[in-house]
Structure 1
Amino acid sequence: MSGEKRVIKKYPNRRLYDTATSSYITLGDVKQLVLDHVDLQVVDAKTQDDITRSVLLQIILEEEAGGMPMFTYDVLTQIIRFYGNTMQGLMGNYLEKNLELFSQMQQKLQDQTRQMVGDNPMFGNHNMWSEYMKFQAPAIQNMMTSYLEQSTNMFVEMQNQMQTRTKNLFSGFPFQPYTPPSSDKDPKN
């Protein structure tokens, strides 16, 4: 992505204006820009506030309302529970790194497929692609196992960093190990 972001202005009438093309666009057009890896920023035309995240969340909400949602009830409730939690900041970073890792894995699979079949138009056919993917199940399983191992390693590394930071943060405080109170009283009394 380039250093310069494409600016989309959102007006009070809820219309989106692409300053690069000097034209009004739809939320679907913004989605396509994201799919095309265009670095963009959405600003409120009146206040100049950056509202990019809320527009991206709106796109996700529309996608989730469609036929095949990506997030289950359990995933959504877990995400909500992290808000206000001491781990909130770390969770965002963890999810971001996992998505990067997953994208790399997906790209690797696509590259390997292109190397094997080239630009064969037969694989443009959905049924042929489905059959090919069934054949590739063991390879995909191996990639997923590798991904999960890397994700686990990332989580362990994150825990180690937290422990180190905590130790550094509290290194000036004299902590005594916990010892349970002794029972000086005779249990018979």
Structure 2
Amino acid sequence: MSETLARARPTGKERHFGADELIVSKTDLKGRITYANGTFLDIAGYDEEEILGQPHSIIRHPDMPRCVFALLWSEIEAGREIFAYVVNLAKNGDHYWVYAHITPSFDRHGKITGYHSNRRVPEAGVVEKTIKPLYAELRKIEESQPNRKDGMHMAARAMAQKVKDMGLEYDQFVQSLSQH
């Protein structure tokens, strides 16, 4: 596909998928989608032909803190897996929450060749009680600076400090929220 699809405006309406369903996608090293399973296509509202080759950020919701994605990319580019709560944006502007497990894919020589993400339904209580307030706080910090990068770095430091104050690393914090 030669053009990037335009991103929809958020509608405020939430979509849901089944607890027994798994959203799966794969990307190349630049984050362009190379595979999307049927659940991904259904919940995001895209046809396979229109989503393949698109940047995975096409489903990024504007309420998602940039610092969380910066951490995510830092971890997977370093060859490590990461778990994260993510709010995504469907083609029509609806949103959906996921509990994501993102891993690098390696060739037989140990070189990263792309990324693989499995997403499941998050626990609603965790999203409402912990993640939404945390993400709102992080976005407020990000938006407090005229320079977007400075805001992102400030929010990342605030998140790291909050987690450190709990005596945890980021991955321990995220995994401690879920009973999965």
Asked if TM exceeds 0.5, the reply is no
Q: Please state which structure has a larger fraction of its residues in strand.
A: 2
Tell me the TM-score normalized by structure 1.
0.30
Point out the structure with max Rg over C-alpha.
1
Q: Please state which structure has a larger fraction of its residues in helix.
A: 1
